[in-house]
Amino acid sequence: MGWTTKQAASKTGITLSTAYRYAQYYSQHQEVPNIWKPRGPPKAQTLQKVHELFIRSLIDDHGTHTLEYMRETLMKNFPEVDISPTAFYKFVRQNCALSIKKVQLISADRNSDDAKLKRREAVSSWLADKEMDFESNCVFLDEAGFNLHISRTRGWSRKGTPCKVLVPKSKGKNITILGAISSAGIIDISLRVPEVLGSTSKKRIADGKVIKTTAKVGTRTEHFLNYLHNTLKVLEKNNLRGQYIIMDNAPIHKNQSVKQLIESQGHKCIYLPAYSPFLNPIEEFWSKVKYHVKRTALDSSDTLTPRIVNACQHVTVDNCRAWIRHSVTFFKDCLELRDDSS
């Protein structure tokens, strides 16, 4: 070609010192050195779309598979693939768009044929009622429990060390919140601490020992009726008549006196189908309230009640309307008998 050593280095992109070394080798041996000799182990094969789909199918079947199990299963089904754990992790995160999250345990009955049929029946009846509108004349009721052990399930720690959080020796008092929201915002909130039944106690056998416990009463139908009565007063005060009062099918809600009270005030009583929390927007309300309660650690029962009150103040009318619209988006899935994917 008539190139000088310097020109050859520039044309081929190698360093000048390497070019001189190659030129010297050729001068001595009259042959080109083996400059493409591979170093280290062979490069791992690049995973393709078919591998991405296979990995996603594994996760769709069971979301708790470990990375190692997924990698071994992939290589077993595709013998030509040999990928390191590090490269596989990168592929799972970037190409498959998968990430590790807190596991949400749901009942096996949630997507049973019977549950899906009841959802379709319920949603069909709601849509057939021309006066019923989730986004304008529905009030959603529910209860949620709080105690001192409520805390975030994830935290920060130094690399190689677990994240440990000290919790109070006792959970303290369990507090039940009864809440109601609508497109107008929070309708009513009531905090309730379980009552102690006088001075009597009952005995319970634990590990062969007899221990004394104080009996407490949780939220019963009579407590819910008192709360419901106050909620209906709020609706009346704000001229919200002819509302659809929507709640799940918990026993304290299904008492005949609950329906009678609602209808006596000119409202309608609606029960959600079983295993369908995603159809109740107030579930998102509880999530936001608990998020604000858990932002900093609790250390005494005295801080729990004001913390709950403060958390409720972070809920806006726009929040409530967005949660209601989100629940409505599931109507189509219910009508088509699809599994719950919320």
State CA 334 to chain mean position distance: 20
Angle value at C-alpha 332, between 329 and 335, nearest 5 degrees: 140
What tokens were used for 45?
Answer: 């094969």
83 or 150: which carries more pLDDT confidence? Answer: 83
CA distance 107 to 310: 32
Q: What one-letter code names the amino acid at 77? A: N
0.75 exceeded by pTM:
no
Contact 300, 168 (CB under 8 A): yes
Q: How much is the pLDDT for 215?
A: 44
Q: How many whole angstroms separate alpha carbon 61 and alpha carbon 174?
A: 37
Q: Rounded to an integer, what is the distance from CA 130 to the centroid of its chain? A: 33
Inter-residue contact 247 to 139 (CB < 8 Å): no
**Residue bearing the bigger pLDDT, 67 or 204:** 67
Q: What is the pLDDT of residues 22-32, one digit of tens each?
A: 888 878 877 77
Higher pLDDT, 317 or 295: 317
Residue 72 binned pLDDT confidence (cut-offs 50, 70, 90): very high
Q: For the purposes of burial, counting CB atoms within 10 Å of the CB of 1, is it exposed (0-12), middle (13-18) or buried (19 or more)? A: exposed
At position 306, the amino acid (one-letter code) is P
Asked whether the predicted pLDDT for residue 201 surpasses 90, the reply is: no
The string of pLDDT tens digits covering residues 121-155 is 999 999 999 999 999 999 999 999 887 666 666 66
Closest alpha carbon to 184 in 228, 135, 248, 143: 135
- Residue 211 makes CB contacts below 8 A (sequence gap 6+) with 203, 204
> Residue 109's pLDDT is what?
85
Determine the Cα–Cα distance for residues 342 and 340; give it in Å rounded to an integer. Answer: 6
Spatial neighbors of 5 by CB under 8 A, at least 6 apart, are 16, 19, 20, 23
Which amino acid does the sequence have at 162? P
Distance CA 172, CA 109 (A): 33
